[in-house]
Amino acid sequence: MKKPIAGLLALTLFAASCSDNDNPEPQKLADEYAIIGWDMKFSDENDSSYFRFTYNADSTLKESKEWDQNDNQEDTAYSYASYLDGKLVKLEYKDGFSGTKRTEMSYFYKDGKLARISYYSNGGEVYYYDTLYYNAGGKLSEMHTKYESSPEYNNKKRILTWTGNNITKVEMHRVDPDNTANYKLESVETYTYDNKPNLVSKVVKDDYLWKVESISFEHLSANNATKVEEAFTGTTNKKVRTATFTYDENNKLVKLTNLLESFSGTTLNSSYTATQVLKYVKK
């Protein structure tokens, strides 16, 4: 079972917008409604998962819970967010099996911008961390990932390209184990967007969806990604991720159906869908 933070990510991950309502108003929706969770179903599994969460008084996300359709307590998972001056500084996790809360991630800021994310093992040690760099316009331009274990194989650099207010390309370079001063291009993600505002990332404050899954860069973009393609250097392999947004008459996103495919050249290797039905309350 996924952790609650992982469930949050899928909300706008690889999202494309297909709606009869062409002018959603994200700030109005954020002011009037709160997303309290969703029900999720994968086409390649018989099980369903459920996600629910609560907010602080300032509308930052406070806690989340995930469980499956059998409501097995041992499979239930919780996450707890802590903030300082309105910015996420720590994410804790607890599963129903151990019942022990532990730190999952911590966040460090410099000059008001996120500068580092540390990730913790079950034993409480930092096992890798991201260092973030920004361009002159204040937009994220690079993210360097360094591991405490086997850094000569695991360290990575991601280089971001912006077009306007959307991230349109991410190049991932992995360290060369034969010369750790060098990095080799391993994959390239390209993003295509519609002209609709990124609704959910606006509703969940403080870039929460990106901060809990920092490689999901589309959460930083102004519009909805209609397609994300990841191509792997030196091969014909690629992954294509698309989705369909369904809105109601009030322009609230009520269902998101994701399609995830992998290819070798033109040969389809795998394909499955993930469908989420969102739950709201009126503020």
Closest by alpha carbon to 2, among 75, 100, 105?
75
Distance CA 190, CA 225 (A): 10
Is residue 230 within 8 A of residue 224, CB to CB? The reply is no
Answer yes or no: is 43 within a domain.
yes
How much is the pLDDT for 191?
A: 95
The CATH number assigned to the domain holding 239 equals 2.40.160
Query: In this structure, what are the phi and psi dihedrals at residue 47, rounded to the nearest 5 degrees?
Result: -85, 155
Q: Answer whether residue 108 is part of any domain.
A: no
What number is the average pLDDT over the span 269-276?
93
Alpha-carbon distance of 31 to 41, in angstroms, equals: 29
Region 143-162: mean pLDDT is: 92
- 235 in a domain, yes or no? yes
Which tokens sit at 34?
Answer: 């709160």
Q: What is the pTM of this model?
A: 0.84
Q: Is residue 94 part of a domain?
A: no
Task: For residue 262, give its domain range.
Answer: 4-82+163-282
pLDDT: which is higher, 264 or 219: 264
The number of folded domains in the chain is 1
134 in a structural domain: no
For the chain, the first-to-last Cα distance in angstroms comes to 31
Chain segment 61-89, per-residue pLDDT in tens: 999 999 886 655 567 899 999 999 999 99
Does residue 256 fall inside a structural domain? yes
If one compares 201 and 56, the residue with the highest pLDDT of the two is 56
102 within a domain of the structure (yes/no): no
Within-domain flag for 49: yes
Pairwise pLDDT comparison (187 vs 123), residue with the higher score: 187
